[in-house]
Amino acid sequence: MDNHSHALFLFSLLSTYLLFAFGIGAESESYYHVIKLTSLLPSPHCSTPKGSNHHENKKGRLKLDHLYGPCSPFGHRRKPTPRQILSQDQIRVNSLQSRLNPRPHNVEDTKTTTLPAHMGKGNYFFTIGLGTPKSELTVSFDTGSDLNWVQCQPCEGQCYSQQDPIFNPLNSSTYLNISCTSPECSQLPSATANPTLCFSSTCVYTSTYGDGSFSRGYFAHETLTLTPSDVPNFAFGCGESNVGLFNTTAGLIGLGRDALSLVSQTSKEYGKVFSYCLPSTSSSSGGYLKFGSDDATSVKFTRLLTNPKAHSFYFLQMVGISVGGKQLDIAPSTFASPGTLIDSGTTITRLPMSAYIALRSSFREFMSNYTMAPALGPLDTCYDFSQQDMQAPKVVLHFGGDVDVEVAESGIFFLGSQSQACLAFLGNSDASDFAVFGNHQQQTLQVVYDLTSEKVGFGVAGCS
């Protein structure tokens, strides 16, 4: 072999080694994302044409958008900072955890100074029709809540500012207050030993949230329109006293498992089945929310768990995590009790601390060739994306029934700024806290809830 051939041979060996060592060879491409900064930034444009029906998508799906996304008519005016989002998210998680483990939390976890309130109100919105003739109202949804309510005239207490005209029950021919003796009135969470449940024989509700905001008013029946078909006698709260910013939506739709949720109330129409796809940060076309069966041919299902202390919550059996194609050394029992809560209103996924440390260690090892950026609040694994694209390992969450859920590239990082992209996972502060599968990691997935069969399914590229 001459010197020239020998040099080429050595160069070839060196190139092969570098490709393998840094994870960019053909053999390992399936374990990595090449992430561009533009894939994490919000799209500057909404792709919904003006004058089109932007409320309903194909296949009877209701169009779903993020409150601060490009298609939001009101979110940009009050968009919180990344630190505010994280602080508010922690308040929600504390509230969820307290349902099973009542205890005081660290004061630093619950600071609310100058924070916009959206605990319990969800991060995504869609449009419903309410009343006869129907009034179109933009509402948020939340799988961690059950009670449905909207603001109502005459706002005798107080009402917050909302984008749509406030619903006036006097203009609807199908509005009817629910009496105190109705079985539905006794199903309200505020019904237990509450002497103010009735006012002039009319059922009164109060819905309070972990950040101190609330909605209070009359419990009533009305005609609900989700698609071209109507849902008569829909029980909801007609709120005449409402405190909290609520992101200027008209109210909240609860998609929990208890009797008063929209899922339970429409069981005859939709069979206790609903699905959604939460759009990615960079999406200009949004996602969807659908009630009833959906095209689920590529969806894999895992068993739904129930906890008697929080029957309304959706718990799943997480059994492990993989990073860059390698499953981490985490015992499945780490996630066993009471399971992992899948929640549409929590932003950042929470893990038991030992699982988070294993994830963080493996992720940092794969990203060791990149310079780390300062931490963003509790997010302690951050990188500078401003000067280059980055190759990040894929993260896969493993659930019971051999269900593997790959986190989309938009769900791996939470963006503080162009020079601060942080691993979008956190460890729980208390050993008794359960894991939470947040909406940031659910982005672009087709998520199907089948309550009759007690299972939840996941499919890829759900928003397309």
Is 230 marked active-site?
no
Token pair of 333, please? 């029992």
Which stretches does DSSP call E strand in 259-360? 273-277, 287-291, 300-305, 315-316, 318-323, 326-327, 340-342, 349-351
Token pair of 108, please? 């630093």
Catalytic pick from 65, 146, 343, 450?
343
Closest CA to 265 of 180, 178, 181, 339: 178
Is 142 marked active-site?
yes
Closest CA to 177 of 153, 157, 201: 201
Name the CA dihedral angle for 121, 437, 304, 229, rounded to a multiple of 10 degrees.
40
| Whether the Cβ atoms of residue 123 and residue 63 lie closer than 8 Å to each other | no
AA letter at 104: P
CA-based end-to-end distance of the chain: 55
202-208/214-225 β-pairing: antiparallel
Catalytic pick from 142, 146, 164, 433?
142
Going from the C-alpha of 358 to that of each of 127, 342, 364, the distances in angstroms are 41, 21, 10
DSSP structural state of residue 91: H
Q: What positions carry a catalytic annotation?
A: 142, 343
